[in-house]
Amino acid sequence: MRHIWVAAIALLLLALFPDAAQACPVCFDSSDENRRAFILTTAFLTLLPLGMVAGAGLWVRRRVRQIDEEAAGSDRS
């Protein structure tokens, strides 16, 4: 019960200081171009590995089905 209270207070404190969190001079500045670059690269680096893994998974699935169909075809003949 005590842990929940500590976590709730920590969350509340964090919620009160978003401006302080965004004040990092490396991550945010007044330039829109810079902000856009951060958003784009974050999206790019997040989606790229997911896309590659999904692509590999889809390819394996398709290939397995293809092999199974070929095997079923040769069994029938």
Which residues form the interface with other proteins (CB under 8 A)?
29, 31, 33-34, 36-38, 40-41, 44-45, 48-49, 52, 56, 60, 63-64, 67-68, 71
Q: How far is the CB of 4 from other proteins (least distance, A)?
A: 38
CA distances from residue 42 to 17, 60, 62 in whole angstroms, order as listed: 23, 28, 30
DSSP class of residue 26?
T
Q: How far is the CB of 41 from other proteins (least distance, A)?
A: 4
By beta-carbon proximity to other proteins, the closer residue of 5 and 44 is 44
Fill in the amino acid letter for 44.
Answer: F
- Phi, psi torsion values for 47, nearest 5 degrees: -80, -30
Q: How far is the CB of 21 from other proteins (least distance, A)?
A: 19
